[in-house]
Structure formats: C-alpha cells, structure tokens
Chain A
Amino acid sequence: MKDFFSNPLIVKEMRERFRSKRSFWILGTYLFVMGAILLGFLYITEMNTYMTPGENRDMFLMMAAIQYAMICFIAPALSAGAISGERERQTLHVLLTTHLSPGRIIISKLITSLAFIFLMVVATLPLYSFVFLYGGISPQQLSLFVLFLAMNIIFFGALGIFCSTWIKRTSVSTITAYGLAFFFVVGTGLLCLFIGMLLTELYPDKYLGDEVFNQLGLQWLASSNPVYVMLSILGESIGPAIEPDVTPWLFFSVVYLILTIVLIMWSTYLLHPVRKRYWGWKK
C-alpha cells in the first residue's frame, strides 16, 4: 500500500484527473443518468403493475445491463489514451529516461485509468439499495456479479492500454480498442452461434439441434462471451441451451485473467525504447 501511495506516476495521475472539473461532471452526469433511469423505470412499471418488494428481479437485471454497457463503453476509452496521450503530449520520451521502468509505467497507468471507473461503480452502490429493496437476487449472485464486473474492467483497461502502446494516435487507438472489445462482447457469441449452426448444417447426422453447442470447443467459446457469462451468473439464459462441463464464470475468469496478463506483458515489451529480440537474429 505504501508503494501505491509513493508511486510517483499514480500520485501525479490522480492529481491531474481529480483536479479537473471534467471528472466531477462525468461522475455527476453518470449518477444522474443512472438514477433517472432507475426511478423512471420504477415509475413506469408501477403505473401498470404492482411491484412486490422481494420478488422483482427486473430492476436488478436492468441495472446490471446498464452497468456492464457502461464499463464496455468507458473502460477502453479511459485507458486507450494512457500511453498514446503521453506520446501526443510529447512527454513519453522524458518519462522513459527516468528510473520508472516500462512495466511500472504500464501498471501505474492501468491502475489510474481504472480507478475512476471503480469510483463510478462504487458511487452507484447507493442506487443498488433500491434493487435490494425489491430483491430477486441472492448475495452470492451479487458478489459474483461484482467480481465479474471487476474482471471486465481490468481486462478492458488492459486492452485499452495495449492499443494505446501499440498505436501512436489516441483516436485510432480508441477505435481499435472499441473494435476489439466489440469482438469479445459480441463477436465471440456470434462466432459460437455461427460455428454451431454450420456444424449442424454440415453434419446433420452427427449433431441434432442444440446438442452441437455441448462440444467442448463451443462450450469454451460460449464461456468466453461476457454476455453469456453475465446472464448465467444472474440465472438467466441467452441463445441455445448449453450444459457446460466447466462453470462459465470460472472459465471466463481464468481465460480473461490470462489474456489481461498477456496484454500487460506485451504492452510492457512494446513500451521499451530499446526492445530485446527474443527470437530471430539481428542483421
């Protein structure tokens, strides 16, 4: 913890971020929008039906979906400019001549980019008191869901940092980060469906209906899809019925944790001003 508060890059970034009025406006607007959606939803639903406290999970599902969409939207954007922003501001060269190692720079940047998103998630917790009032979810589900969100935040942050290190311009880096995030959120699901349907068409004798999705490869692909995993945590289902061998959230967490570590290590390698060659030979 002492290291965290004495890390010069974290201290500097926190100072810069939380001094700007923009951060407070973003946070305020976000809370306002989330609150307005929640209260609006309550108002409209109560007009038609009577919501029984303890028996309504729609509100939680809606909050979860908005929260997740927000993370997909904000996490890559906040981190996709972390390194390219330094490059554009012409401060990166100077930073690299200090004693801060590329690995420390990447980790510090990741932490400070994500700190703001974590703050936003924490700031919305009071809104969840409404959700608890109406119930419909177990504490275990909520804990798993929070862990799932945390994993996603870290992964999308690492993805953004990687794009930011790999691509020189922030605008291109942000678009690429969104593109890659879209692949993980939507693409993996569509790919799973497409391959499953293709196999059913090609080998109708071998695979009957949704059974094809119980193939190990497709199970893994489905468990790599955050939307599928999120709904399975919340006890909902989407797409064909799959009976997974490995619990989806466990598989998801392991795979995305490995991907996050790979992205961080790759970014660190890319940030080295003079890169070591681990393969091939130098002319």
Chain B
Amino acid sequence: MILTQQLTKHYGKVEALHELNLNIEKGKVFGFIGPNGAGKSTTMLILSTLLEPTSGRAYVAGYDVCKEPKAVRQALGYMPDFFGVYDNLKTTEYLEFYAAAYHIPPEKRRSLIADLLELVNLSNKADSYVDALSRGMKQRLGLARCLVHSPEVLILDEPASGLDPRARIEMREILKELRKMGKTILISSHILPELAELCDEIGVIEKGRLIACGAVDDVSVGTRGISVMEVKVLEKHDHALQLLEAFPYVRRLDDKASHFRFQFTGTESDKAALLQKLIDAGIPVVQFGESKENLEDVFLAITEGVGN
C-alpha cells in the first residue's frame, strides 16, 4: 500500500533522506521511530505529495506521488505533527469545510460528520467552537478530518505529541479502532512505548537512513543481537546489581528499585549463564526475560553510534 524505492531528499547540501526503501502492506500499522531531524517528517511529506523527492520513487495505494498527486490525495489522509485549526468555526463546520474540499456531496456530509465525531468521541462537542477545544480534542478532530474522505492510507506524524496520558490513551484506542477498520497506517511517535502495542511493524530511521525495519520483536532482537532485558529479584538487590554490572554482556543497566532493565548483547546461552549465575549466588529471581514494551530502549540500542 505504501512503497518507497531508493527515496532520497536533499535540502541543499544536507541529505535528509538516503535511499529509503519501505514496503508497507495493506492493513498494516507501521511505526516510524527516530529522533528529531532523522527524516520521518520528510518521508511523510513526500508521501503526502507536499514535497518533491530529489531522487527515487514513492507510491501510495499504487499511485506515484509525483505523477499522480490527485489520486494519492484521494487515497490518503495526512495529519502533520503540528497543525492549527480555524478560529470562529464550529466543530461540524470545520469538518464540513474539509468534506466540501474533498468534494463529498452536501447531502452525505451531515451523517458522515456525525459518524466521524462519534468515532473520535467528540459527538458532545459538535456545536463547540474549534479553538475552544482542548489539545487532545483538537488532535482527535484532526484525525476525524483525515478520515473525511474515507482514505485507505493514513499518515500520522506524531499524533500523540503534547497530549496528556489520558488523551494519549484515547488516541491509541481510536487508532486501534482504525486498524480494525483495515486502514493502512504509517505513524511516527516520540512516545515510543505506545507504538509497541499498536504497530505490526516498526522502522527505525536515523540521519535519513533506515537502520532497522521489521516486526517489533524482530527489531528488538535485531540484526545487532541486542535485546532489552528485565530482571526482578525479591531480595539481595545490591548483590544482584553487582553481579549484573560485572556481567560482560550487560550494558546501560537501569536500576528501577523494583526491577532492573538493561541491554543485553550476548546470545541465548549467555542469557542462561547470567540467570544461572544469579541463582547460584542465592538471589531469589522472580522475573527474567526480554522487555516487550519499551521501544525507547530498542531505539537507543539500535541508533547508538549511528552517524558518528
């Protein structure tokens, strides 16, 4: 559904994107991870027909973004990382404007807008002025705006940025709903743990290069053999800390008081050896395994040293 081939973008002498190859299949949710300036937004702008690539090709729903921008815009809903709303417009009027801009017939607009507001839990704000909505509500309204022409593909640039925890959870639930509806979603986020639960695949981008791509679990173990481990002990906390620090494959050890988190660069046998060592030392281990949730660590592990 989304395909890029050797996609490259230069801003003067700065290379924002270097030969990016992505293939996102229909109905998949793809998480795009990378620090600021890595090239995520550039990729999304090119896919949204708002920026011309220097070289390479990009396709959305089978349409070339450079040659068939109109068809791409019909197939795609784009939500930028920062977007404003119009003052003095009510929520329904705001959506009506975009519905008209996408040539939705007037007789269909009323029911469409009611459905969209229900999807994003804003039915009770239908008559409120847009600029009076909270940040989270505006973000949800922005999502409804993306869906006004029922696109197959959604490109969401940092949809959860600046939201409080409750608003983030609400946004995540809506995205899950959209996944159920079969939408293909390309999403980037700084709130990395959120993507783990939501995404089928993730891509890690750094300095314009895709340095890891695949299913969340595959990427976390990754080609570099790095995984993020979590160990919980009942007693002898300090002793366990010493042993872990001394173990050769343990890096970035984080003592979270109730448990330890660290990057592990060894093999499966090395993991077994570490567990054995802890047990031999008489430490009561109650949890020993890979951390499933924290993509932030995965991201830090993978991007460590890239570009230096």
Chain A residues within 8 Å of B, Cβ to Cβ? 6, 8-9, 11-12, 15-16, 19-20, 89-91, 93-100, 273-275
- A89 → chain B, closest Cβ, in Å? 4
Q: B97 touching A97 by the CB < 8 A rule?
A: no
B88 interface neighbour in A16, A89, A94, A97, Cβ under 8 Å:
A16
Within 8 A of A (CB), among B213-234: none
Which residues of A are found within 8 Å of B69, using beta-carbon distances? 274
Q: B97 touching A12 by the CB < 8 A rule?
A: yes
Closest 10 CB pairs of A and B: A8-B100, A89-B84, A98-B101, A90-B84, A274-B52, A19-B88, A273-B50, A16-B88, A12-B97, A91-B84
Q: B73 touching A90 by the CB < 8 A rule?
A: no
Q: A99 touching B82 by the CB < 8 A rule?
A: no
Per-residue interface assignment for chain B, residues 30 to 60, with 1 indicating a CB less than 8 Å from any chain A CB and 0 otherwise: 0000000000000001001111100000000
Docked CA distance A96–B51 (Å) = 11
Count contacts on B: residues with CB < 8 A to the other chain: 33
Docked CA distance A99–B69 (Å) = 10
Q: B84 touching A93 by the CB < 8 A rule?
A: no
Most chain A CB atoms below 10 A, which of B45, B66, B86 = B86
- Contact of B80 with A by CB under 8 A: yes
A-B contact pairs, 9 of them (CB 8 A): A8-B97, A19-B88, A93-B50, A93-B83, A97-B50, A97-B76, A98-B101, A274-B51, A274-B69
Extra inter-chain contacts (7) besides given A8-B97, A9-B97, A19-B88, CB under 8 Å: A6-B100, A8-B100, A12-B86, A12-B89, A91-B83, A96-B50, A98-B102
- A268 → chain B, closest Cβ, in Å? 15
A99 interface neighbour in B50, B70, B106, Cβ under 8 Å:
B70
Docked CA distance A93–B79 (Å) = 9
Q: A274 touching B93 by the CB < 8 A rule?
A: no
B89 interface neighbour in A15, A97, A99, A273, Cβ under 8 Å:
A15
Q: B50 touching A15 by the CB < 8 A rule?
A: no
Which residues of B are found within 8 Å of A19, using beta-carbon distances? 88
Q: A90 touching B80 by the CB < 8 A rule?
A: yes
A15 interface neighbour in B78, B83, B88, B100, Cβ under 8 Å:
B88
A100 interface neighbour in B48, B84, B85, B101, Cβ under 8 Å:
B101
Which residues of B are found within 8 Å of A20, using beta-carbon distances? 87-88
Docked CA distance A93–B76 (Å) = 13
Docked CA distance A90–B82 (Å) = 7
| A94 and B89 contact, Cβ closer than 8 Å, known pairs A11-B97, A89-B84, A99-B102 | no
Q: A97 touching B103 by the CB < 8 A rule?
A: no
| A99 and B74 contact, Cβ closer than 8 Å, known pairs A8-B100, A11-B97, A16-B88 | yes
| A99 and B103 contact, Cβ closer than 8 Å, known pairs A90-B82, A94-B80 | yes
Which residues of B are found within 8 Å of A94, using beta-carbon distances? 78-80, 83, 145
Which residues of A are found within 8 Å of B74, using beta-carbon distances? 99
Which residues of B are found within 8 Å of A99, using beta-carbon distances? 70, 73-74, 101-103
| A15 and B49 contact, Cβ closer than 8 Å, known pairs A9-B101, A91-B84, A97-B76 | no
Which residues of B are found within 8 Å of A90, using beta-carbon distances? 80, 82-84
Q: Smallest CB-CB separation from A274: which chain B residue?
A: B52
